[in-house]
């Protein structure tokens, strides 16, 4: 049943669920499952295949953030799911157990744990069959956020974006995607439902995932995003404006739209300009600025201040990775700098 109600003794999850502290639905009742999960995602038809009735259960855990959520969803047995068009959001599904057949946009794809996932677009009608006690990690991202970023990257406003629905998890892109989703789940589990992440952190994670999807997974705007822009060599003065903007807003989430407007150039031209003139991506340039700020803060830290708190306040989303690049730049760990300053 939904969280506060008694759970039927016949409900039998098949594996340790992720995001257990974020439980939203846990039931062996089909109608309740369809209604409750439909309120979180979208209304849909849910039908266990005939032989699966005795094994049916539904579990949905959901950690929601600003503009996106990460979810763990599992069904006992095999079920048919018909959400139609998702309309409001894009849905990335990564199987952890079992398999699924998905009919979307005139294609049929098969996904399975460790092999492939799916990326569902809101304008494409979808039907699914989840097999063999299927369990998935699911990323939901608001449609508006994806379309705004896609339009800015492609410099093509007002065009609907649709993704190739099949995601190969055994490519570098697939591995990077799984790593980011796993990190987001780990972070949510570590913080728990009672603690809000700093807005800078959630915005950075969200924008990083959206950027990865748009540049790594084939979609209807890929050719526009990947094309070489007319201005392949932005003027250094333009890049200096962008660099100054990054330094002035280093503790804020990276907003490529605002950065490009401040510099007076398109996003794609700006990205290529940073690579050509600075030899780094915009994200790496911002990371270097934040490392300098962190070093300065560590050297003047007050008693009781912690490295992890400073790192989060400056927008570092992966403390362990931050510590590695900090050491390579300063020759010691952030903790050693902090101890040396006292």
Which of the pair, 72 or 319, is modelled with greater confidence?
72
Q: Provide CATH code, domain 20-216.
A: 2.60.120.10
Output DSSP code: residue 52. G
Q: Distance (Å, rounded) from C-alpha 238 to C-alpha 241?
A: 5
Residues 109-126: pLDDT tens digits?
A: 999 999 999 999 999 999
Angle at 97 between CA 95 and CA 102, to 5 degrees: 45
Q: Provide CATH code, domain 283-342.
A: 1.10.10.60
* pLDDT for residue 76: 93
Q: For residue 237, count other CB atoms closer than 10 A to its CB.
A: 10
Q: Distance (Å, rounded) from C-alpha 108 to C-alpha 323?
A: 44
Q: Distance (Å, rounded) from C-alpha 302 to C-alpha 35?
A: 52
Pairing of strands 116-120, 166-168: antiparallel
Q: Grade residue 14 by pLDDT with cuts at 50, 70 and 90.
A: very low
At 21 the three-state DSSP class reads helix
Domain regions of the chain by residue span: 20-216, 283-342
Least trusted range by pLDDT, from 11-15, 21-25, 274-278: 11-15
Give start and end residues of each alpha helix (H) in the chain.
30-40, 143-154, 172-191, 199-216, 222-226, 236-248, 256-263, 267-277, 282-299, 307-313, 319-330, 334-340
Bridge partners (DSSP) of residue 60 are 25, 73
CA dist 13 to 55, 130, 135, 226, Å?
10, 15, 10, 43
* pLDDT for residue 235: 57
Q: Distance (Å, rounded) from C-alpha 92 to C-alpha 213?
A: 9
Q: Grade residue 15 by pLDDT with cuts at 50, 70 and 90.
A: low
Residues 102-161: pLDDT tens digits?
A: 999 899 999 999 999 999 999 999 999 999 999 999 999 999 999 988 888 887 777 889
* CA 50 to chain CA centroid, nearest Å: 35
């Amino acid at each position: 049943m939904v969280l506060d109600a008694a759970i039927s003794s016949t409900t039998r999850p098949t594996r340790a669920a992720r995001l257990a502290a974020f439980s939203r639905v846990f039931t062996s009742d089909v109608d309740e499952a369809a209604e409750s999960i439909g309120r979180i995602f979208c209304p849909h038809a849910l039908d266990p295949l005939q032989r699966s009735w005795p094994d049916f259960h539904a579990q949905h855990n959901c950690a929601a953030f600003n503009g996106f959520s990460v979810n763990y969803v599992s069904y006992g047995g095999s079920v048919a799911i018909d959400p139609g068009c998702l309309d409001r959001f894009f849905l990335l599904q990564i199987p952890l157990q079992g398999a699924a057949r998905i009919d979307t946009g005139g294609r049929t794809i098969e996904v399975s744990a460790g092999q492939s996932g799916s990326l569902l677009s809101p304008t494409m009608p979808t039907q699914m069959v989840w097999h063999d006690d299927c369990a998935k990690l699911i990323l939901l991202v608001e449609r508006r956020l994806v379309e705004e970023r896609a339009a800015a990257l492609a410099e093509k406003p007002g065009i609907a974006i649709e993704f190739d629905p099949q995601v190969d998890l055994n490519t570098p892109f697939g591995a990077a995607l799984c790593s980011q989703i796993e990190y987001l789940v780990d972070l949510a589990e570590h913080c728990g439902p009672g603690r809000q992440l700093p807005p800078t952190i959630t915005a950075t994670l969200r924008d990083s995932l959206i950027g990865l999807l748009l540049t790594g997974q084939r979609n209807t705007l890929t050719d526009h995003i990947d094309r070489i822009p007319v201005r392949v060599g932005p003027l250094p003065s333009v890049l200096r404006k962008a660099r100054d903007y990054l330094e002035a807003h280093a503790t804020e989430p990276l907003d490529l739209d605002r950065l490009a407007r401040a510099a007076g150039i398109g996003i794609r031209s700006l990205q290529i300009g940073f690579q050509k003139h600075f030899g780094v991506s915009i994200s790496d340039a911002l990371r270097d600025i934040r490392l300098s700020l962190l070093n300065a803060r560590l050297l003047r830290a007050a008693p009781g201040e912690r490295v992890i708190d400073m790192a989060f306040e400056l927008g570092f989303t992966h403390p362990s990775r931050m510590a590695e690049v900090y050491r390579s730049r300063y020759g010691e760990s952030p903790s050693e700098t902090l101890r040396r300053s006292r």
